């Protein structure tokens, strides 16, 4: 059987619709992360330092809240970090070219790189808090 132009076109359309889904995952929403620092200033220092070290551009929105934007290879992610003396929350704000979508069942999906960037940022914050506790300067 020889494929027709119509069958080839149909397969290409299906692949173009399916492939972006292969790179998406459930949106990572870590909730409150408790690290046990000694002050809000120490937590702010850890968060701001981690954002800068990982290439995020930070802007303080209000007291104890920072929004940060990361731009990588034509993709943009924006998060909100709210912190206090002992913990922080990190949440999704916006993105471009990361295939963010909310499914009918309420599940949120995004390109898996977003989740990777957020996990790296969370590790960096934790490392900086740990270094502060050990008396080291990050």
* Higher pLDDT, residue 103 or 62: 103
Per-residue pLDDT at 130: 93
Q: Looking at 29-131, which runs of residues are DSSP E strands?
A: 32-34, 57-62, 65-72, 75-83, 87-96, 101-102, 108-111
In a domain, 67, yes or no: yes
**54: containing domain:** 5-133
Count of structural domains within the chain: 1
pLDDT tens string 97-135: 999 999 999 999 999 999 999 999 999 999 999 998 766
Confidence of residue 13 (pLDDT cuts 50, 70, 90): very low
Task: Report d(CA 42, CA 44) in Å as an integer.
Answer: 5
In a domain, 23, yes or no: yes
pLDDT of residue 18 exceeding 70, the answer is: no
């Amino acid at each position: 059987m020889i494929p027709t132009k119509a069958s080839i076109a149909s397969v290409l359309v299906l692949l173009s619709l399916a492939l972006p889904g292969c790179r998406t995952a459930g949106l990572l929403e870590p909730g409150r992360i408790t690290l046990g620092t000694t002050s809000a200033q120490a937590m702010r220092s850890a968060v701001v330092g981690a954002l800068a070290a990982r290439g995020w551009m930070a802007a303080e929105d209000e007291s104890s809240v920072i929004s940060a934007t990361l731009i990588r290879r034509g993709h943009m992610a924006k998060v909100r970090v709210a912190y206090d003396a002992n913990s922080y929350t990190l949440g999704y704000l916006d993105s471009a070219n990361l295939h963010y979508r909310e499914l009918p069942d309420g599940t949120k999906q995004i390109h898996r790189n977003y989740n990777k960037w957020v996990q790296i940022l969370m590790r960096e914050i934790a490392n900086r808090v740990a270094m502060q506790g050990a008396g080291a300067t990050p």
